[in-house]
Chain A
């Protein structure tokens, strides 16, 4: 019995959003509870003074790695839409190095990254408002440049087709 059979495909979207919200609440609570929202916890980690955040990330990764493989081995289907549990992997490209280098500098300066950043806002850390404004701006700038590049390419192609 899957949710798809009970509510129909058109309601899956809302169920997906509700699941997203619920897992977000759990994620934000754990991040705050573990104080990954504190500038000093991240700084102590990045100055290699305390190992606990590395251990936290490593244990999360190992737990998840074991769990998701169990799901795949036993051919479990997703609760919401009954699709077989699967995932895509990516091969490394130049953009991964470039992007992650910029990301690392930002992470170091702000002492936070997108997940804990949202939890910071919830915990009443007003500094998060500035960082979030920056993140949204950064994504906007990236997409704006990409769209312009694409339109230049498209214009070029159109000019070629038109025989200019």
Chain B
């Protein structure tokens, strides 16, 4: 594997590449990039609210595949239940991990749905398109997430 893919991409490579991807997607499809919409399509499909999966669901399937490729090109594909310092900060017991992550996921899913966008949809794409709501959303979830992470670090003392 080329050494450049094995080591972590620096921000000044990954950032502009993601920016170009947003431009390219808009150019080809005239659609704004965003990750949450794919999950919504899966939900609508499962509840029969839509009969087929749209392009946003296929986008998410692509992200999964791209993640696999990045592992194969880098450290190798090794499935693991370990989750970095999450295990040290919040605990490594399986029941705890499942509870916290499912709960956090519900907040992400419902919160993103209410705000009609996530870190990619509002934070990267919406702000670059100059949408005022996206600036409000990005500021709000950044400040909340930073405050919450500091609070967790303070409470658990790590």
Contacts and interface: CB of A to CB of B under 8 A. Distances in A.
Interface of A: 16-40, 43, 46-48, 52-53, 55-65, 67-68, 70-71, 76, 78-81, 83, 85-93, 95-111, 113-115, 117-127, 130-143
Interface in B14-33: 14-33
Contact of A139 (B27, B110, B150): B110
19 contacts: A21-B65, A24-B61, A27-B120, A30-B18, A47-B150, A52-B10, A53-B11, A63-B23, A78-B28, A87-B32, A102-B107, A109-B148, A114-B118, A117-B108, A130-B105, A131-B102, A134-B107, A140-B47, A142-B114
- Interface of chain B, main secondary structure: helix
A25 B63 contact: yes
Contacts of B115: 95-96, 98-100, 103
A118 to B, nearest CB: 4
Contact of A60 (B19, B29, B133, B141): B19
Interface in B79-121: 79-81, 83-86, 89-90, 97-98, 100-116, 118-120
B106 A96 contact: no
Contacts of A26: 21, 62, 66
Contacts of B13: 34
Interface residues of B, number: 119
Given A119-B66, A119-B67, A140 B43 contact: yes
Contact of A135 (B22, B29, B109): B109
A118 B20 CA distance: 20
A106 B103 CA distance: 8
Given A17-B58, A52-B10, A64-B23, A79 B28 contact: yes
